[in-house]
């Protein structure tokens, strides 16, 4: 588990596995079903989805070495665009050619519409990859609104999706309504629900909805460890979560639950308790866990520490969670990938 450490991504990562929902945007109107959808000339097919993604992926892979703001805007949107603009194309784990591609296409009559593309990358950074691809209007380009990854996965993400997402006789996935009352939490409420859990403001009832794991109890334990460790080096470390207004993307599972992809906003800060707070360009491996990361220090051009100095990072956490029906099971966030969107310095004397 890595939290906002060095590197071009400035990544806040809590690795596990997750997937997705769509709130408001792109939900099918009442009465939309297979028969009606297939009469729509614009209905997506797996072949068209594959063609669109095959055209997108090589350009997205080149973004790291051929970065421009225009290129980022042509390929990404929403939370993914914000992270790419801040990192100048270096957000997240580098993408390599994908194998074992699988596509999850919901029946959506209107725009924006979306689909999921999952694949496996090998090499020095083996991982499962999941892209949420969105088209805002007819003839508009397909763009990635989220690009999730599952580190060191042999087939985890693909197996989870292939074995759990419900599809009809024609291979289309079923969209879950944003306000579905049958789930532990409706897709539209997942950002606020998960953010309150991680921020420690959730009620006991809500806390009990979450299954123990790396992205729940493990995350909270790690945040407490960081706060204790930072104090030994002269810093007060804080980590606050908040909901976003970003769309969520949700598909029905064969259990009756949903796989939901959504984002939260993560605000991480380090405040110097004194002028002796440690600030080193190359700290020891142990100290590096607890000091402000080098990408923050370098971006803000910090050369010395003053009492009360506060360094802050804003980030989006992109989350994939299994959400079970009420009374049946838990909410299990499988993937939590974080990426910075901005840094700033402030000062609070005393």
Q: Provide the CB-side half-sphere exposure for 22 (13 A, CA).
A: 25
pTM: 0.85
Cα angle 177, 181, 187; round to 5: 50
Cβ atoms of 309 and 272 within 8 Å: the answer is yes
Label residue 176 exposed, middle or buried (CB < 10 Å: 0-12, 13-18, 19+).
Answer: buried
Per-residue confidence (pLDDT) for residue 26, from 0 to 100:
34
Per-residue confidence (pLDDT) for residue 152, from 0 to 100:
64
Q: How far is CA 204 from CA 17, 80, 178, 217, in A?
A: 25, 33, 24, 14
The closest alpha carbon to 2, from 319, 285, 12, belongs to 12
DSSP-based three-state secondary structure for 119: strand
Pairing of strands 331-347, 12-14: antiparallel
Per-residue confidence (pLDDT) for residue 22, from 0 to 100:
30
How remote is the C-alpha of 290 from its chain's centroid? 23
Extract the tokens encoding 343: 């840094």
Rounded Cα–Cα distance for residues 144 and 130 (Å): 10
User: What is the full per-residue pLDDT of the chain (350 aa) written as tens digits?
Assistant: 334 433 333 333 322 222 222 323 333 333 333 334 334 446 788 899 999 999 999 999 999 999 999 999 999 999 999 999 999 999 888 888 998 899 999 988 789 999 999 998 877 778 889 999 999 998 899 999 999 998 765 556 777 787 889 999 888 999 999 999 999 999 999 999 999 999 999 999 999 999 999 999 999 999 999 999 999 999 999 999 999 999 999 999 998 999 999 999 999 999 999 999 998 766 677 788 899 998 999 999 998 999 999 999 999 999 999 999 998 889 999 999 999 999 999 987 55
Rounded Cα–Cα distance for residues 22 and 135 (Å): 13
How remote is the C-alpha of 120 from its chain's centroid? 18
Q: Residues 6 or more apart from 231 whose CB is under 8 A from it? A: 237, 273
* Torsion-angle region of 78 (φ positive above 0: left; ψ -120 to 50: alpha; else: beta): left
Extract the tokens encoding 185: 């939490």
Per-residue confidence (pLDDT) for residue 286, from 0 to 100:
79
Rounded Cα–Cα distance for residues 265 and 294 (Å): 21
Place of tokens 């990854």: 149
Per-residue confidence (pLDDT) for residue 347, from 0 to 100:
84
Q: How far is CA 317 from CA 6, 313, 345, 349, in A?
A: 16, 12, 21, 31
H-type alpha helices, 44-101: 46-62, 69-75, 78-87
The alpha carbons of the chain give a radius of gyration, in whole angstroms, of: 21
Rounded Cα–Cα distance for residues 25 and 104 (Å): 17
């Amino acid at each position: 588990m890595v939290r906002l450490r060095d590197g071009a991504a400035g990544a806040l990562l809590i690795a596990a596995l997750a997937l997705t929902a769509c709130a408001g945007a792109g939900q099918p109107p009442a009465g939309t079903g297979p028969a009606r959808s297939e009469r729509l000339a614009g209905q997506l097919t797996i072949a068209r989805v594959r063609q669109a993604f095959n055209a997108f992926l090589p350009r997205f892979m080149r973004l790291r070495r051929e970065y421009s703001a225009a290129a980022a805007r042509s390929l990404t949107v929403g939370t993914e665009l914000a992270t790419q603009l801040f990192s100048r194309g270096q957000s997240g784990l580098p993408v390599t050619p994908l194998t074992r591609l699988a596509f999850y296409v919901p029946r959506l009559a209107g725009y924006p519409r979306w689909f999921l593309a999952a694949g496996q990358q090998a090499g020095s950074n083996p991982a499962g990859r999941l892209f949420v691809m969105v088209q805002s209007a007819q003839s508009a380009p397909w763009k990635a609104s989220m690009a999730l990854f599952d580190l060191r996965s042999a087939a985890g993400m693909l197996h989870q999706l292939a074995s759990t997402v419900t599809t009809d006789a024609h291979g289309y996935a079923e969209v879950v309504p944003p306000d579905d009352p049958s789930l532990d939490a409706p897709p539209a409420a997942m950002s606020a629900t998960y953010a309150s859990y991680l921020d420690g403001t959730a009620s006991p009832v809500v806390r009990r909805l979450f299954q123990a794991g790396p992205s729940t109890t493990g995350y909270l334990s790690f945040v407490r460890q960081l706060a204790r460790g930072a104090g030994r080096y002269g810093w007060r470390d804080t980590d606050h979560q908040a909901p976003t207004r970003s769309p969520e993307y949700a598909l029905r599972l064969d259990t009756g639950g949903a796989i939901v992809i959504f984002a939260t906003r993560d605000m991480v800060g380090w405040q110097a308790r004194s002028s002796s707070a440690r600030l080193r360009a190359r700290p020891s491996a142990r100290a590096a866990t607890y000091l402000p990361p080098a990408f923050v220090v370098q971006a803000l051009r910090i050369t010395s520490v003053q009492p009360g100095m506060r360094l802050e990072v804003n980030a989006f956490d992109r989350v994939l969670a299994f959400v079970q029906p009420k009374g049946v099971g838990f909410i299990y966030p499988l993937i939590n990938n974080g990426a910075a969107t901005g840094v700033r310095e402030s000062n609070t004397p005393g």
